[in-house]
Amino acid sequence: MTLNVPIEYYAACCGRAACLWYCQPAGGATLRIQSKKLRAILVPSFVIAFLTTCLFLPVKPALAHNSSHQTSLSSSNLASLVDPFTGTGQQADSFFHGGNTFPGADVPFGMVQWSPDTSSNNDGGYSYSDSLIHGFSLTHLSGAGCSTYGDIPFMPYVGAISDSPASNPNLYRSRFSHSNETASPGYYGIKLNSGVNTQLTVTQHSGLGSFTYPSGQVAMMLVESSGSASGVSASQVNLGTDTISGSASSGGFYGASDTYTIYFWAQFSQPFATKGTWSGSTITTGSTSASGSGSGAFVTFDTSTSTTINVRVGISFVSVANAQANVNQEDPSGAGGYGERGHPDQQYSSRSQLP
């Protein structure tokens, strides 16, 4: 009988949401049990020990925002059973803190996850216990347990720009209440305490946002091209008459060496009244481009005719041209995504026109 057991156990815990446990021989060594009789004893013993251990593992209750209504499991539309706030809470006595999920607009296998980012910057981008939003970024990774994505935050703001968002980001955050917040598959909406009513919906590679500003006040939109959750190594933003486009290079997920560059193209429902950029602590009114870390763009709108500003935006990991092609292909008329506003029981395949 020969028994070699030089085995190490590794715990690969990339995130706080889930861990992958696996065994791997150290130095290429293997576990060899040549005795059939010994194998007959050890293998069942290992299985029994493993199952017994699983039975006594502590189980925490799921973290979720309690939905105000219950839907029968017999419903033919299973999407109506989804509560996007599930996992957005935090658990103080848990090492993993929470589910690290986001409540924003997304579709199955979609590349755009347009969702709010709270000031506590939970690893999913959103913490249910928070009351401050600093932007609505286009990409999120649910349940990873590590900060990543959060690319290209859009932030509606009421008032004129005074300090650079790079040097004084707290100035442009807005408080909110969950009583003014709603989410369903493919749709997210909130009325910020600043008075801006925000509605978001998406397709596979694009999104449609609707922002209704208080009448009689300055209606501004900030687009932080360098606002990725993990920071950026490079960023670029360009402004046209009614478009904003650019890119952000980020990565380094959980300390890894991976990088990516995301490109975006956004078109608004009316031309800009004023526009400009910031870079570091410097604000340049009238500028049409900026680059580097700590940079972004700001625009204002004439809301004398309509206080609602719509924007359709596409993303790509190839080029700005491809980002524009994605939104033109999937949402040529600005009709929006799969979520039916105010009707979480609607099918994903139904499209709606946001006001």
263-314 pLDDT tens trace: 999 999 999 999 999 999 999 999 999 999 999 999 999 999 999 999 999 9
Arithmetic mean of pLDDT, 156-171: 96
Task: List the one residue out of 263, 351, 244, 354 whose CA is nearest residue 310.
Answer: 354
pLDDT in tens, 120-140: 766 778 889 899 999 999 999
The Cα–Cα gap between 127 and 91 comes to 11
Q: 270: Cβ–Cβ under 8 A, 6 or more apart, which residues?
A: 242, 301, 302, 306, 309
84 and 48 part of one domain: no
Residue-level pLDDT at 40: 54
150 and 215 part of one domain: yes
Kindly give the pairing relationship between strand 154-158 and strand 234-239.
unpaired
The Cα–Cα gap between 1 and 35 comes to 5
249 and 198 part of one domain: yes
- DSSP lists the bridge partners of residue 278 as 283, 296
Average per-residue pLDDT for the chain? 79
Q: What is the DSSP letter of 81?
A: G
State whether residue 179 is helix, strand or coil: helix
Task: Report the range of poorest mean pLDDT among 8-22, 125-139, 237-251, 335-349.
Answer: 8-22
In a domain, 266, yes or no: yes
- DSSP lists the bridge partners of residue 33 as 3
Q: Output the DSSP codes for 121-143.
A: --TTS--TT--EEEEEES---TT
In a domain, 197, yes or no: yes
304 and 202 part of one domain: yes
In a domain, 173, yes or no: yes
Residue 151 — pLDDT band, cuts 50, 70, 90? very high
State whether residue 53 is helix, strand or coil: helix
Q: 254: Cβ–Cβ under 8 A, 6 or more apart, which residues?
A: 14, 15, 146, 148
Domain count, the chain: 2
106 and 166 part of one domain: yes
Residue 210 clears pLDDT 60, i.e. is over it: yes
In a domain, 343, yes or no: no
41 and 124 part of one domain: no
Residue 25 — pLDDT band, cuts 50, 70, 90? very low
114 and 31 part of one domain: no
Arithmetic mean of pLDDT, 324-347: 65
pLDDT in tens, 49-93: 555 544 444 444 434 444 444 445 555 778 888 999 998 887 666
The Cα–Cα gap between 278 and 165 comes to 8
Domain that holds residue 113: 78-330
In a domain, 183, yes or no: yes
Q: Output the DSSP codes for 220-288.
A: EEEE-TT--TT--SEEEEEE-SSEEEEEEEEE-GGG---EEEEEEEEEESS--SEEEEEETTEEEET--
Q: 81: Cβ–Cβ under 8 A, 6 or more apart, which residues?
A: 71, 73, 75
In a domain, 347, yes or no: no
In a domain, 60, yes or no: no
35 and 180 part of one domain: no
The pTM of the whole model exceeds 0.85: no
Residue-level pLDDT at 143: 81
83 and 32 part of one domain: no
161 and 124 part of one domain: yes
- Position with higher pLDDT, 352 vs 227: 227
Q: 5: Cβ–Cβ under 8 A, 6 or more apart, which residues?
A: 31
* Token reading at 77: 């539309």
Q: Which residues of 139-175 are buried (b: 16+ CB within 10 A; e: fewer)?
A: bbbbbbbbbbbbbbbbbbbeeebeebbbeebeebbbe
- Expressed in angstroms, the distance from the first to the final Cα of the chain is 77
Specify the CATH number for the domain of residue 152. Answer: 2.70.98.10
Residue 333 — pLDDT band, cuts 50, 70, 90? confident
Contact 116, 130 (CB under 8 A): no
In a domain, 110, yes or no: yes
Contact 275, 221 (CB under 8 A): no
17 and 89 part of one domain: no
11 and 155 part of one domain: no
Contact 282, 164 (CB under 8 A): yes
